[in-house]
Structure 1
């Protein structure tokens, strides 16, 4: 521990200057810049929705309905941002303030660690700024809480060193350290899953090493530190699992881990347009996903050769005077080892044929046969919970870089006073190597804030004026709709759509069946019946058809075309005009329908039922009145959604298969009120044979019939249509319905009952 140092004016000036430069570097100057746009929109949607609820609310209720939506990662950021929103801040400024808060926590924690190791005050401040300047932090700003989580490794490990210093005898100071450690662990698990695992792994290595290397600390480790460590992480994991509603996310293939594994060439040579000094000296090279596996984040964030060299030198110089240096080196070694992923890569590029057949992100995954040799850590990523979802392997390098930074701090702290100018110069040189083009960095932060503001003015507020807060909304076609999180929460309406791949998967489990019809991202005239069905079964009150991309427009407003460079764009008007042109015929067809009201704006079209058709009854009556007999079932029949209300598979070219229990809604012509009418259903029965008879039960109000079928020939049955309301619901049950997979060993797992082909009207 360092003796308490006096603060001098120069120290305050250096601290304040470093603090502002750190915030500037990370694009988080409140009311001026924001670090990113896309993830800021996504997070702000959750934050605003949380703020829309009661003070203890931690779920989003405006999007991802009908269930409350838990933010998949980043609650520690979103909840804090929601507080700023409650205090009256605009979401974009609230996000910037939230980011600035956590970055300052990380910055001061890094300074405190330096101070704990004994660094001179000014060297400690410079050391803190060095950590916060690492590209592994600011170049991940587009990933929101991942960037903050990496920065907060200093905060997490400050808690590690604090608890290491407690004694086994209970005291008030020890109790506070234990509570702070637990709080830190909880903050980390709700900030970001990657850095939570790094925290858990790195702390476990440090504690284990100290237990082995320091006999005098074993008693306090066994009695206090290790129990607190294990219990804190178990409780934090339990709280997170309870919050998101599952114990773990789905694991990923080894090809993903391999594709996003750290290529050693990325460590050694920086990527062009990322770092100012290497670019100026001509040391950088161009990289893109046209030839490299993974995506741009793998190669723009991981240049770390200088800190590796100085870190290893620092370990060599301090290993005898401070035994903890070797424990920290073990943390760094594990971080970089896991960052490699399952296979070793040294300037590994895609084969030429792969570049042609599957360009860019279509070939981001890396097959094992293209790697140099296995690293041996695949079993960790395959088998161990937590590790098996850290699919972007390269991110482990953050732990390695942080540990090497700590080794540098240990060395700087031990340097004699006469050599402090040299050590300070080395820190400054490392800092200089980390700096991007500052003018571009400033411009990005300012532009991002302006675009956020334009999203409010150009689409969020106009939508709010068009949609009633009590109405259920569907944006179609849907996908990973980042922008909707914000639009719904700021507009205070409820929508099924949601942004975030993990959140989307969870929300889909509870969506109405009509939403699933748009899972291919396509909206054309063929999808109009599916849209109508959503109104028919009261799934939605409003359909919004956006002319902007609900994922990429959140990253670059109003459009983004270049996935490699988030700031590179083509003409905004071209993006919008293309989308509007593609959808023009569909919008025209919707507007031509007598029961729909379509309002077409610059950035979106809004579709609602006309007032006289509000509610399912008037609409159903109208749609049934438009259907004439005979009805040829199949894909060409446009009113399938009206007839087949429940328990049917997708319509095929000339038939539709029922499940074991299904309902059929048929129109009843006016003449059937005074005459005896029958609906004649023509169908086959799946799996019926002399050896396997299949019973089918048909029923309507006041009539039912059981029939057994022993062949797959075309059958027919006449069902009375006697309902004066103009429609008749028929229920059919096939108890012996079975899938082709179970009956024949085929690949079709659908449960099949009858195949309805034609419906005729018989009047007697």
Structure 2
């Protein structure tokens, strides 16, 4: 089919091809409303915020994290459309999946437009966009919610930057670029920093290689891009109410840096084709520093091959080629963390996930960035920089296809092989289907609790922990709680808690537990004490959840019951304790 043919048959054929490619992308990412949800735990956490936004027509959650309204630490850009879908009656699981698919549509179109902008033709641009959207580094991060979307959107972000810096330096491009920086800031901090780093590299390459355009780059592009990033960052900090988060120790950066072999050999159980042909390696989290996400999400072999292929062939724009190469090298190098690691295993013993310096003799030299430079010192999961490295490699491939009107068979084969290598296993797809079923089950269970509460009641989940489940439960029932899911959110909320809440230790009971609950209720700091029999963090990840605290809590409940001042409503997963109503005082008889 001739691309220059503007007939209806061409448009229909191209539209069907685009729809098929996008459907494959949604399927791989587990974002098919009505069928799949990309994850469970983070979806429940986000749905709690989204439902609270919908309850109060606000960008702050007012149902949990009392006493102050709670800002969502990342992912506002996706939580708001989720809130809209909830408000118009879309079921919770499908509202989350629909918001995900909406942003994946932006990511897919942005990747397509990126290739088109630098000269690619329609069909090959669609294939490149599909190659990007199916990357494991994207869908493997669905368990981290909007981190996944931030990575998916990288080509869309860089499309706006490339358009502004290289092609159309006008008001429309400036507004589009600012929209990208704002979206990145309110989506995920990792992709925001990658976007900023990549734009800085691109501008420096342009400044160094374009003597005739240096004044324009220096006095126009630098100020516009700098102002956009700074304004977006300031708006984000104003929203969350703090200028930054506390940086992590270098042992964390070191542990969560990627082993070099992770780039080239995938982990068994994630990718269908490598598993089928025996190219994947069996890995267990206990054997490595960091966690499983480090070795599960770092595989980049096919894009590395594509990048070498593109570098070895002629390209139409040597300056862009240099910029994309430097972006890719920067991303992969930063993904190593502060230390080079090749087949480094965690030694026997109880070391935890962190990596002490003595186990990392070869340093990369990035310690200064990870310790002192704002933004970089919060990129604690170092391996995630691999997404920027993959973008650089993908952009080199995009420039290669854009430099040719007719693609050689080798190029097509590399792209198709890359897509094939990106396909998840059946187990991953089944997990996405099951995730929707679990969220539906959680929603059905929470709805069954509605008769127990009155709207607006204050509920304390005790003892408090990292209570993801409380986010959704309180928002769904339109009640209020001090508890909140998310370590950073919990720290912020606790600063305003009454003494009766601070009297409890996180996750612990103790001999005075029952008395502390009664004190909380009698001092009217809460209307109801909810005593969970299950861990409210893991209940949001795997449903139904075993009532692991049932036996531990019964003596305290019996003690409170024997006091005679409370009524206790018992459920399979909770006991709800409230003070008995005070009997009315009869007027004296004359």
TM-score by length of 1: 0.74
Paired position in structure 2 for 1:133: 134
Paired position in structure 2 for 1:269: 265
The 2-side partners of 1:403 and 1:551 are apart by: 37
1:112-135 Cα distance to aligned partner (Å, 9 max, x none): 111122222111111000001110
1:722-759 Cα distance to aligned partner (Å, 9 max, x none): xxxxxxxxxxxxxxxxxxxxxxxxxxxxxxxxxxxxxx
Task: Give the CA deviation at 1:607.
Answer: 0.3
Is the counterpart of residue 443 in structure 1 residue 413 in structure 2?
no
1:621-670 Cα distance to aligned partner (Å, 9 max, x none): xxxxxxxxxxxxxxxxxxxxxxxxxxxxxxxxxxxxxxxxxxxxxxxxxx
1:255-301 Cα distance to aligned partner (Å, 9 max, x none): 00001011111112110001111111111111122110101111111
Equivalent residues in 2 for 1:12-31, closer than 5 Å: 12-31=15-34
Task: Give the CA deviation at 1:227.
Answer: 1.1
Task: Give the CA deviation at 1:52.
Answer: 0.8
1:54-101 Cα distance to aligned partner (Å, 9 max, x none): 3xx210000001100000001101111111122221221111110000
CA gap of 1:476–1:408, structure 2 versus 1, over 3 A, is same
Task: Give the CA deviation at 1:436.
Answer: 1.1
Paired position in structure 2 for 1:432: 420
Secondary structure of 1:545's partner? strand
Is the counterpart of residue 498 in structure 1 residue 484 in structure 2?
yes
Aligned 8 A contact 1:62 1:489 in 2: yes
Paired position in structure 1 for 2:531: 545
CA gap of 1:613–1:269, structure 2 versus 1, over 3 A, is farther
Task: Give the CA deviation at 1:539.
Answer: 1.1
Alignment coverage as a number of residue pairs: 580
Secondary structure of 1:598's partner? strand
The 1-side partners of 2:474 and 2:366 are apart by: 43
CA gap of 1:286–1:365, structure 2 versus 1, over 3 A, is same
Aligned 8 A contact 1:412 1:420 in 2: no
Is the counterpart of residue 456 in structure 1 residue 456 in structure 2?
no
1:294-316 Cα distance to aligned partner (Å, 9 max, x none): 01111111111221122123123
The 1-side partners of 2:188 and 2:540 are apart by: 21
Task: Give the CA deviation at 1:320.
Answer: 7.3
Paired position in structure 1 for 2:588: none
Aligned 8 A contact 2:514 2:557 in 1: no
Secondary structure of 1:544's partner? strand
Equivalent residue for 2:214, pick from 211, 218, 234: 218
Paired position in structure 2 for 1:89: 90
The 1-side partners of 2:42 and 2:74 are apart by: 11
Paired position in structure 1 for 2:155: 154
The 1-side partners of 2:66 and 2:345 are apart by: 43
Aligned 8 A contact 1:319 1:326 in 2: no
Paired position in structure 1 for 2:240: 244
1:348-379 Cα distance to aligned partner (Å, 9 max, x none): 11112x2xx35xxxx10000110131111001
Aligned 8 A contact 2:110 2:156 in 1: yes
The 1-side partners of 2:456 and 2:413 are apart by: 62
Equivalent residue for 1:346, pick from 342, 346, 358: 342
Paired position in structure 1 for 2:582: 612
Equivalent residues in 2 for 1:287-686, closer than 5 Å: 287-318=283-314, 321-352=317-348, 354=349, 357-358=350-351, 363-415=352-404, 417=406, 419-437=407-425, 439-458=426-445, 460-559=446-545, 575-576=546-547, 578-612=548-582
Task: Give the CA deviation at 1:11.
Answer: 2.2
Secondary structure of 2:460's partner? strand
Task: Give the CA deviation at 1:321.
Answer: 4.5
Aligned 8 A contact 1:524 1:586 in 2: no
Instruction: Calculate the aligned-residue CA RMSD, in Å.
Output: 1.8
Task: Give the CA deviation at 1:524.
Answer: 4.8
The 2-side partners of 1:166 and 1:215 are apart by: 17
CA gap of 1:202–1:4, structure 2 versus 1, over 3 A, is farther
CA gap of 1:318–1:586, structure 2 versus 1, over 3 A, is farther
Secondary structure of 1:599's partner? strand
The 2-side partners of 1:539 and 1:69 are apart by: 19
Aligned 8 A contact 2:315 2:399 in 1: no
Aligned 8 A contact 2:256 2:337 in 1: yes
Structure of higher CA gyration radius: 1
The 2-side partners of 1:216 and 1:557 are apart by: 62
The 1-side partners of 2:109 and 2:566 are apart by: 59
Secondary structure of 2:343's partner? coil
Aligned 8 A contact 1:139 1:301 in 2: yes
List runs of 5+ in structure 2 lacking aligned partners: 586-590
Paired position in structure 2 for 1:632: none
Aligned 8 A contact 1:514 1:530 in 2: yes
The 1-side partners of 2:413 and 2:263 are apart by: 22
Aligned 8 A contact 1:48 1:85 in 2: yes
CA gap of 1:305–1:284, structure 2 versus 1, over 3 A, is same
The 1-side partners of 2:505 and 2:368 are apart by: 34
Task: Give the CA deviation at 1:548.
Answer: 2.1
Mean alpha-carbon deviation: is it higher for 189-198 or for 468-477? 468-477
The 2-side partners of 1:50 and 1:4 are apart by: 47
CA gap of 1:518–1:462, structure 2 versus 1, over 3 A, is farther
Paired position in structure 1 for 2:74: 73
Secondary structure of 1:474's partner? strand
CA gap of 1:98–1:150, structure 2 versus 1, over 3 A, is same
Q: Which has the higher contact order (CA 8 A, sep 6+)?
A: 2
1:200-228 Cα distance to aligned partner (Å, 9 max, x none): 11111111111211234334323332111
The 2-side partners of 1:116 and 1:4 are apart by: 17
Aligned 8 A contact 1:289 1:364 in 2: no
Paired position in structure 2 for 1:646: none
The 2-side partners of 1:16 and 1:348 are apart by: 43
Secondary structure of 1:293's partner? coil
Secondary structure of 2:270's partner? coil
Equivalent residue for 2:35, pick from 32, 36, 39: 32
Aligned 8 A contact 1:47 1:81 in 2: yes
Aligned 8 A contact 1:63 1:69 in 2: yes
Is the counterpart of residue 255 in structure 1 residue 256 in structure 2?
no
The 2-side partners of 1:167 and 1:375 are apart by: 38
The 2-side partners of 1:321 and 1:594 are apart by: 81
Secondary structure of 2:285's partner? coil
1:387-413 Cα distance to aligned partner (Å, 9 max, x none): 111110000110000110010111122
Secondary structure of 2:243's partner? coil
